[in-house]
Amino acid sequence: MIIDRVFDSSINAKVIERAASLLDEGGLIAYPTDVNYAIGCHALRQSSIEELCRLKGIDPRRQTLSVICADMSQAAAYARIDNAAFRILRANLPGPFTFILPASTELPKVFKGRKSVGVRIPDSPVPRAIAEAIGAPLLSMTATGPDGNPLGEPDEVAVEYGDRSPIAMLIDAGSRPGALTTVVDLTDSQSPVIIREGAGQLI
């Protein structure tokens, strides 16, 4: 596992380029978000998605999958965002939220038949820069410890995932809170429903 250090205030472009190259080649990477560390892959690479789901023990047929997008424009290519939903997203993003939105047809076959997708635009420049560099979202899952709690320290991520790693790279940006996002169901944008209370306070 490659470990590269970055700072939120001054991201090393070479680190982002290295991460993007690994993702384009089908690899998995670990990276900071605004609330925890996450593991992700290129959201348009079917084989990478399957590998990530195996690593995390997730059945994609049964659980909502979430993507990190660079910005609202990228999100709109992979989720259907009407005017009401757009106003809510614009007021709360970037931030510690996962918004469940109607899925578009642009996502790969693991999403086929699914009516919704989780969308994140975190208040952390690292994953947004990576999504911009690959020109696609990151399929993203929380890095968790043996107790199932989210990991906020890069050293914890290296210990937990290093030995059993299909993870090619860890981007170390220092400590995160080790919290979870607030999850908001926006499939009916007129009636948003908070389905998990987390770090975000919905405006």
pLDDT, residue 187, reads: 96
pLDDT, residue 79, reads: 93
Boundaries of every domain in the chain: 2-196
Burial per residue of 89-114, b for 16 or more beta-carbon CB atoms within 10 angstroms, e otherwise: beebbbbbbbbbbbbeeebbebbeee
Angle between helices 13-24 and 125-134 (to 10 degrees): 50
Instruction: Work out the number of other CB atoms within 10 angstroms of the CB of residue 148.
Output: 7
pLDDT, residue 113, reads: 67
Tens of each residue's pLDDT in the chain, 203 residues: 999 999 999 999 999 999 999 999 999 999 999 999 999 999 999 999 999 999 999 887 788 899 999 999 999 999 999 999 999 999 999 999 999 999 888 777 666 667 899 999 999 999 999 999 999 999 999 999 999 999 999 999 999 998 767 999 999 999 999 999 999 999 999 999 999 999 999 99
| Nearest alpha carbon to residue 84 among 182, 192, 183 | 192
pLDDT, residue 27, reads: 96
CATH of 2-196, one of 3.30.70.660, 3.10.20.90, 3.90.870.10, 3.40.50.1820: 3.90.870.10
| Nearest alpha carbon to residue 31 among 164, 159, 182, 174 | 174
Residue with tokens 């959201």: 43
